[in-house]
């Protein structure tokens, strides 16, 4: 154990002062506006800093640093290497103009590259009017640890633009997206081998297609240009299964965590998914697919919370029907015989086996942690449980499947999309028919030898050759299961590691630290 208390203190001292710095002065803001250039700025932290002060929660970035420090105490690397893993390498703050009708509005955005130990760096882009620099830094750091946990060979990054896209016409959202992309291109912080964005809160396939198009437009002849962004529509170089991958990955994580008596014991549950009662917060991309997969896997979805409130039915809700109901009425409330829970976060406190917060950060905090009754919290969102809440929950014996593992399915499928783009071929395209021919010969022979004919559906199932979605699903399942046991091994083999988040951080610190030790420090 090379890193002692002393090294933790050293790290704390050198801890990114950014998360504690104040909002920049007017002069600095004015200067960057006047010059129209990106600056390494500490701007945008005012809101999250204020929120932290009011709620006595550390800022999101500070929270991630705290988790890092807790795990680093069990890691065997020199302090300087640990400091380097923990630091945010580049923080770009960008202000850019966008024409809206007859006026111009200046938008603020960030791209943060947390770690360059592997390239490209990778991470989504968040569009929300409440995005702050602290948040983007925290999310970028989490991407580093997330990629390491699931063996995706990328560094971590994240982007954000302060924009509530719902308030604007589509053409404005398109101009914001394209101009933000252009600002990244100008700074050489986007590209297949540099930094590869993806969707996050407030963005999706549509925005990713605009980013790809903008990048391609100014990169003539660059054959790998499409790999500059993932989460694109399938028709534009996206990959089948990416859209549902975060929720599907969370399902694999929960399923594995309850797969055996030994695994399930940590959560105080019997093994298996059958009949487990689940409450989901957020019916967006992550929540919807997590809920659907968990329902298909045999659990009962007894509660769903959304922005407008929650619905509860102890006999189970049909996820697809709730989704349709929301599309038709604009709200999940008043769904069949389900009970309306007007205060949306109240539902998090209802009795259930598995709670899946799949909306935004800080949803389980010091205000409600003592009232949470779930036996397992599977973190679909990034940072849904605050640092203070985590302490309370662990004391109460409630364990979490941490976000840096539980929602890593998205970036895993993004990695497959990136591979597809640089290979310029769809997985399965070359081998599928050959595989089917072989399978057909085997099935024919078995039928001949046994004198038994398979039903047409069984026959089709046996013969089917793997296609793109099969490969993505298989790769995702393999990734989530392997990562689960890496985390659990770290947890079980170190009696001082008391929870899965610390174990997950420890696993990633070990991988990233090894990478720095082997590569050396340039020059």
User: Any contact of residue 200 with ligand GLU (CB under 6 A)?
Assistant: yes
Helix (H, G, I), strand (E, B) or coil at 309: strand
Nearer residue to ligand GLU within complex by CB, 3 or 230:
230
User: Any contact of residue 124 with ligand GLU (CB under 6 A)?
Assistant: yes
Give 199's Cβ-side CA count (13 Å radius).
Answer: 26
Strand 376-378, strand 399-401: pairing: parallel
User: Any contact of residue 152 with ligand GLU (CB under 6 A)?
Assistant: no
CB of 149 to ligand GLU, least distance (A): 11
CB of 202 to ligand GLU, least distance (A): 11
CB of 476 to ligand GLU, least distance (A): 12
Residue 84 CA to residue 482 CA, distance in Å, equals: 27
CB of 196 to ligand GLU, least distance (A): 7
Helix (H, G, I), strand (E, B) or coil at 67: helix
Residue 238 CA to residue 429 CA, distance in Å, equals: 15
CB of 364 to ligand GLU, least distance (A): 18
- DSSP secondary structure letters along 141-205: HHHHHHHHHTT---EEEEEEE---GGGS-HHHHHHHHHHHHHHHHHTT--BTTTEEEEE-TT--H
Q: What angle do CA 495, 11, 68 make, to 5 degrees?
A: 45
* Binding footprint of ligand GLU, residue count (CB under 6 A): 11
Of 423, 404, 411, residue with least CA distance to 472: 411
Nearer residue to ligand GLU within complex by CB, 189 or 302:
189
Nearer residue to ligand GLU within complex by CB, 82 or 406:
406
User: Any contact of residue 249 with ligand GLU (CB under 6 A)?
Assistant: no
Nearer residue to ligand GLU within complex by CB, 413 or 463:
413
Q: Given the residues 122, 158, 232, 292, select the one marked as catalytic.
A: 158
Q: Which helix (H) or strand (E) holds 281?
A: strand 277-281
Give 43's Cβ-side CA count (13 Å radius).
Answer: 25
User: Any contact of residue 63 with ligand GLU (CB under 6 A)?
Assistant: no
* Options 133, 214, 363, 382; binder of ligand GLU; rule CB under 6 A: 382
Nearer residue to ligand GLU within complex by CB, 69 or 200:
200
User: Any contact of residue 123 with ligand GLU (CB under 6 A)?
Assistant: yes
Q: What angle do CA 172, 178, 182 make, to 5 degrees?
A: 140
Interface positions, 286-325, toward ligand GLU (CB under 6 A): none
- Phi first, then psi: give them for residue 246, nearest 5 degrees: -65, -45
- Token pair for 230: 């993932």
* Options 190, 198, 264, 283; binder of ligand GLU; rule CB under 6 A: 198
State the CB neighbour count (10 A cutoff) for residue 351. Answer: 13
CB of 412 to ligand GLU, least distance (A): 8
User: Any contact of residue 45 with ligand GLU (CB under 6 A)?
Assistant: no
Nearer residue to ligand GLU within complex by CB, 181 or 230:
230
CB of 495 to ligand GLU, least distance (A): 31
Residue 523 CA to residue 521 CA, distance in Å, equals: 6
Nearer residue to ligand GLU within complex by CB, 132 or 230:
230
User: Any contact of residue 230 with ligand GLU (CB under 6 A)?
Assistant: yes
CB of 388 to ligand GLU, least distance (A): 23
The region of 63-71, 120-128, 324-332, 364-372 touching ligand GLU under the rule CB under 6 A is 120-128
Residue whose Cβ sits closest to ligand GLU: 124
Nearer residue to ligand GLU within complex by CB, 110 or 312:
110
Buried b / exposed e over 261-271, threshold 16 CB at 10 Å, is eebbebbebee
Q: Site mask, ligand GLU, residues 399-438, x = CB under 6 A?
A: --------x--xx--x------------------------
CB of 450 to ligand GLU, least distance (A): 47
Residue 279 and residue 348 in contact, taking contact as beta carbons nearer than 8 Å: yes
Residue 59 and residue 134 in contact, taking contact as beta carbons nearer than 8 Å: yes
Q: What angle do CA 474, 513, 383 make, to 5 degrees?
A: 60
- Ramachandran region of residue 151, left (φ > 0), alpha (ψ -120 to 50) or beta? left
Nearer residue to ligand GLU within complex by CB, 3 or 382:
382
User: Any contact of residue 144 with ligand GLU (CB under 6 A)?
Assistant: no
Q: What angle do CA 119, 361, 149 make, to 5 degrees?
A: 35
* Options 111, 117, 118, 122; binder of ligand GLU; rule CB under 6 A: 122
Catalytic residue check, 158:
yes
Q: What separation in angstroms does the CA of 65 have from each of 117, 178, 274, 338, 478?
A: 18, 33, 37, 41, 29
Q: How far apart are the first and last CA of the chain?
A: 27
Q: So which residues are the catalytic ones?
A: 158
Residues at the contact surface with ligand GLU, assessed by CB under 6 A: 122-124, 198, 200, 230, 382, 407, 410-411, 414
């Amino acid at each position: 154990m090379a890193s002692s208390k002393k090294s933790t203190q050293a790290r704390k001292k050198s801890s990114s002062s950014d998360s504690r710095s104040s909002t920049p002065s007017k002069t600095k803001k004015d200067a960057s506006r006047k010059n129209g250039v990106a600056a390494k700025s500490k701007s945008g932290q005012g809101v999250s800093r204020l929120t932290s002060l009011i709620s006595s929660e550390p800022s999101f970035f500070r929270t991630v640093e705290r988790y890092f420090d807790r795990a680093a105490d069990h890691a065997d690397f020199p302090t300087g290497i640990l400091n380097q893993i923990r630091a945010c390498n580049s923080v770009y703050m960008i202000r850019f103009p966008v024409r809206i009708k007859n006026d111009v509005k200046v938008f603020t955005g960030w791209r943060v590259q947390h770690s360059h130990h592997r390239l490209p760096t990778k991470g989504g882009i968040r569009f929300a009017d409440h995005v702050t620099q602290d948040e983007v830094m925290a999310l970028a750091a989490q991407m580093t640890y997330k990629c390491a946990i699931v063996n995706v060979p990328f560094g971590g990054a994240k982007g954000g633009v302060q924009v509530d896209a719902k308030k604007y016409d589509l053409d404005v959202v398109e101009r914001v997206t394209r101009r933000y992309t252009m600002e990244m291109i100008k700074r050489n912080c986007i590209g297949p081998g540099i930094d590869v964005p993806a969707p996050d809160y407030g963005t999706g396939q549509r925005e990713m297609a605009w980013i790809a198009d903008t990048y391609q437009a100014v990169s003539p002849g660059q054959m790998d240009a499409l790999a500059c962004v993932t989460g694109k529509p399938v028709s534009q170089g996206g990959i089948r299964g990416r859209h549902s991958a975060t929720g599907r990955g969370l399902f694999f994580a929960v399923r594995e965590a309850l797969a055996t008596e030994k695994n399930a014991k940590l959560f105080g549950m019997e093994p298996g998914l059958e009949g487990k009662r689940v409450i989901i917060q957020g019916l967006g991309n992550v929540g919807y697919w997590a809920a659907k997969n968990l329902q298909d896997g045999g659990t009962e979805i007894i509660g769903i919370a959304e922005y407008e409130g929650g619905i509860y039915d102890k006999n189970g809700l049909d996820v697809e029907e709730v989704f349709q109901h929301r599309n038709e009425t604009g709200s999940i409330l008043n769904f069949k015989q389900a009970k309306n829970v007007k205060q949306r976060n109240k539902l998090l406190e209802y009795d259930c086996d598995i709670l899946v917060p799949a909306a935004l950060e800080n949803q389980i905090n010091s205000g409600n942690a003592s009232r949470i009754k779930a036996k397992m919290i599977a973190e679909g969102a990034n940072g849904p449980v605050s640092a203070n809440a985590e302490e309370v929950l662990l004391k109460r014996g409630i364990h979490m499947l941490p976000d840096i593992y539980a929602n890593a399915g998205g970036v895993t499928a993004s990695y497959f999309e990136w591979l597809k783009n640089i290979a310029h071929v769809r997985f399965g395209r070359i081998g599928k028919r050959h595989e089917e021919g072989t399978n057909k010969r085997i099935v024919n022979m078995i039928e001949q030898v046994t004198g038994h004919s398979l039903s047409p559906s069984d026959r089709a199932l046996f013969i089917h050759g793997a296609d793109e979605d099969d490969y993505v699903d298989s790769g995702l399942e393999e990734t989530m299961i392997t990562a689960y046991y890496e985390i659990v091994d770290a947890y079980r083999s170190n009696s001082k590691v008391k929870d899965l988040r610390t174990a997950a951080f420890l696993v990633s610190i070990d991988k990233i630290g090894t990478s720095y030790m082997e590569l050396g420090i340039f020059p």
